[in-house]
Amino acid sequence: MLLLTIGHLVKTRPELFKVDSPHRDILDRMFPRLQAWYQWFQTTQKGEEATSYRWRGRDNDGVQLNPKTLTSGLDDYPRASHPSYIERHVDLRCWMYAAADAMATIARVLELETDKFESTRDQLGDEDLLNELHWSPHTQTYADFGLHTDGVRFVRQQSKNPQEGSKVVRSVTIAPQPRLVTSAFGYVSLFPMLLKVLQPESEKLGKILEMLDKPDLLWSPYGLRSLSKLSPLYMKRNTEHDPPYWRGQVWANVNYLALAALRHYSARGPHAQRASALYTALKENVVRNILSEYKRTGYLYEQYSGEDGRGSGCKPFTGWTALVVLIMADEY
C-alpha cells in the first residue's frame, strides 16, 4: 500500500516533484529502495504459469481447516485447501499490476527508464490473460487456483501418548483436485475491480457489479463482508483455538478500495450508472455503521460484524478504520 500511495501522490500532485524541489530529492533517494522492494516480489512470488503469482509461506500442518496465507495480509481467508507450487493467487497478481503502474509513474516523474514497468503493467492488465488464469465461467467470478477440496472438517484425535490427551485436527473427506477455488467468493474475488485492473467496458466488471449487492453474498447494511455467506468456511474457526478473522467480517480498508473503484468506474462506460448507485449505497452503509459504533462505544474497531455491525477485534483502532474520514470526504 505504501508504494501505491506514493504512486498516487506523484500522479495527482506532480507539481510537488519538480526539478530541484525537496520532495523530488526525497523521491529520488527513495527510488532504489522502492525498486528493490518491487523486484523482490517479482522474483520471489512468481507462479509456475506465465503472468501468475503465488504467495509464499503457506504450511499444511494438518491442524488448520484451511492453511493461512499470512503473507497476503488476509490471514485466514480461504485459499486452496492443500498448499502447493501450482497455486495462483489473483489478489497478488492484481497487486503486482498496481505496483508496476506505480513504479512506472514514479520513474516517469524522475525521468528514468519506464519500459520494463510499463511492459509488466500492460501484460498484467491484459484481461484475456487474467481470465485464462483466474476466471470461472461456471460461477462467473474470479478465483484463486490450486489443489483444493471443500471436503474438510474438524475431528478430535486421541494422542498416542495418554498424558497428552486429545486434540482437534483436520480431516479430509474428499480428495483435492487442481481447480479454481470458487467456493471462497469474497474480497479476493473482487481484486480485479478493487485495484482497477479491469477496463470500464469489461463484461467481467459487469458480472462483479451484478453480484456485489446480493445480501446472501457480500452485501450487508454495514459494508461488504470479507467472505460470502454461502461459502463453506463463512465464519468458521480455523483451528480449535483460532476464531474467524477474514471469513465474513467487514473491514474498512477493503471497503475503502471498493468505494474508490466504484467511484472510478462510475465516471464512464456501460456500467457507470450501476457503479454510481452501488457507491452511494455502500458509502452510506460503511459510514453510518462506523459512526454508530463510535457513538455507542467510543471506539473505532479493527473490523465489524457482517451480521449486526458491532465492532470487533482490536480497539481503539485508528489504523485503516480512520479511512472513514477520507470516505466521508470522497477522497480516494
Give the CATH number, domain containing residue 176.
1.50.10.10
Q: What is the pLDDT of residue 105?
A: 97
Fill in the amino acid letter for 289.
Answer: N
In a domain, 226, yes or no: yes
Which whole number is the average pLDDT over 109-127? 97
Do 129 and 57 share a structural domain?
yes
272-297 helix and 252-265 helix, angle to the nearest 10 degrees: 150
Is the pLDDT score of 153 beyond 80? Answer: yes
Backbone φ and ψ of 247, nearest 5°: -125, 40
Q: Which of 76, 87, 144, 302 is catalytic?
A: 302
Is the pLDDT score of 273 beyond 90? Answer: yes
- Domain of 233? 213-332
* All three cell numbers of 209: 457489479
Q: What is the pLDDT of residue 250?
A: 99
pLDDT band at 111, cuts 50/70/90?
very high
Q: What is the pLDDT of residue 158?
A: 82
162-185 core/surface letters (b: 16 or more CB in 10 A; e: else): eeeeeeebbeeeeebeebbbbbbb
Provide the mean pLDDT of the chain: 97
Which whole number is the average pLDDT over 108-113? 96
Q: What is the pLDDT of residue 53?
A: 99
Q: What is the pLDDT of residue 280?
A: 99
Do 161 and 25 share a structural domain?
yes
Do 97 and 43 share a structural domain?
yes
Do 254 and 175 share a structural domain?
no
Q: What is the pLDDT of residue 1?
A: 77
pLDDT tens, residue by residue, 205-261: 999 999 999 999 999 999 999 999 999 999 999 999 999 999 999 999 999 999 999
Do 281 and 156 share a structural domain?
no
Assess whether 302 carries a catalytic annotation.
yes
pLDDT band at 162, cuts 50/70/90?
confident
Q: Which of 28, 49, 75, 118 is catalytic?
A: 75
pLDDT tens, residue by residue, 314-326: 999 989 999 999 9
Do 87 and 32 share a structural domain?
yes
In a domain, 91, yes or no: yes
DSSP reduced 3-state for 292: helix
The last residue of one of the domains, among 181, 204, 233, is 181
Name the pTM for this structure: 0.95
Assess whether 15 carries a catalytic annotation.
no
Which whole number is the average pLDDT over 147-154? 97
In a domain, 208, yes or no: no
The last residue of one of the domains, among 132, 157, 181, is 181
* Burial class for 257, CB neighbours closer than 10 Å (0-12, 13-18, 19+): buried
Domain count, the chain: 2
